[in-house]
């Protein structure tokens, strides 16, 4: 059975809500196993066992979250040249624009020779003050639907062998 691996980190719940929506979309593809792992719990073996990926992170100080960076650091060379061509998508819960975090993941994925199936999905909370940044996030229904659609698209493409 083919599988989709969702690797994420969430600090204030926004990214987790996005992951849950994407996972519910992916779950509509019953011929595919969906695995959701927090970044600190994910290793190279998890990447090697998957046929595609969703990488989800909050934007932290205009970059990917430190625990996502740690995940990439720990696994990068162990899977280099072993996951070439696998499809992936990126989801970012941003406070400002999320573009730098998206570029960081894109550069890593390019080194792994992964195939992007969609532009990065960036949901912007516009949180700019300390209190807003640290407050639990609530992602809107329209944005959660975008996450769900992304998960469904990736899962269906993997299951059908399109990606």
The CATH number for 90's domain is 3.40.50.360
pLDDT at 136 > cutoff 90: no
| SS3 at position 95 | coil
- 3, with CB counted inside 10 A (0-12, 13-18, 19+), is middle
Adjacent-strand bridge partners of 63: 60
Give the largest Cα separation in the chain, rounded: 46
pLDDT-based confidence at residue 42 (cuts at 50, 70, 90): very high
Q: 């890593």: which residue's tokens?
A: 108
Quote the tokens at residue 36.
């959701």
Q: Are strands 2-8 and 32-38 parallel, antiparallel or unpaired?
A: parallel
pLDDT at 6 > cutoff 90: yes
The answer to whether the Cα torsion of 18, 58, 84, 35 is positive or negative is negative
What are 141-162's pLDDT values in tens digits? 999 999 999 999 999 999 999 9
The percentage of residues in the chain with a pLDDT greater than 70, rounded to a whole number, is 100
pLDDT at 40 > cutoff 90: yes
Domain that includes residue 68, residue range: 2-160
The Cα 66–Cα 10 span in angstroms is 11
Instruction: Give me the DSSP letters along 65-119.
Output: -HHHHHHHHHHHHHHTTTSTT-EEEEEEEESS--HHHHHHHHHHHHHTT-EE-S-
Question: What is the mean predicted confidence (pLDDT) over 108-132?
Answer: 93
Q: How confident is the model at residue 126, as a pLDDT?
A: 84
pLDDT at 131 > cutoff 90: no
- 163 versus 53: the higher-pLDDT residue is 53
Q: Tell me, yes or no, if the pTM score tops 0.75.
A: yes
Domain total in the chain: 1
């Amino acid at each position: 059975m083919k599988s989709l691996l969702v690797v994420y980190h969430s600090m204030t719940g926004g990214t987790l809500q996005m992951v849950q929506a994407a996972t519910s979309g992916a779950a509509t593809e019953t011929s595919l196993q969906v695995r959701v792992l927090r970044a600190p719990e994910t290793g190279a073996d998890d990447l090697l066992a998957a046929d595609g990926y969703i990488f989800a992170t909050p934007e932290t100080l205009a970059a990917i979250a430190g625990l996502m960076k740690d995940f990439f650091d720990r696994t990068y060379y162990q899977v280099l040249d072993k996951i070439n061509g696998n499809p992936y998508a990126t989801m970012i819960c941003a406070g400002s624009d999320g573009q730098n975090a998206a570029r960081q993941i894109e550069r890593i994925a390019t080194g792994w020779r992964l195939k992007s199936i969609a532009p990065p999905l960036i949901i912007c909370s516009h949180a700019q003050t300390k209190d807003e940044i640290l407050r639990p996030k609530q992602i809107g229904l329209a944005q959660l639907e975008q996450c769900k659609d992304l998960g469904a698209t990736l899962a269906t493409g993997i299951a059908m062998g399109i990606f």
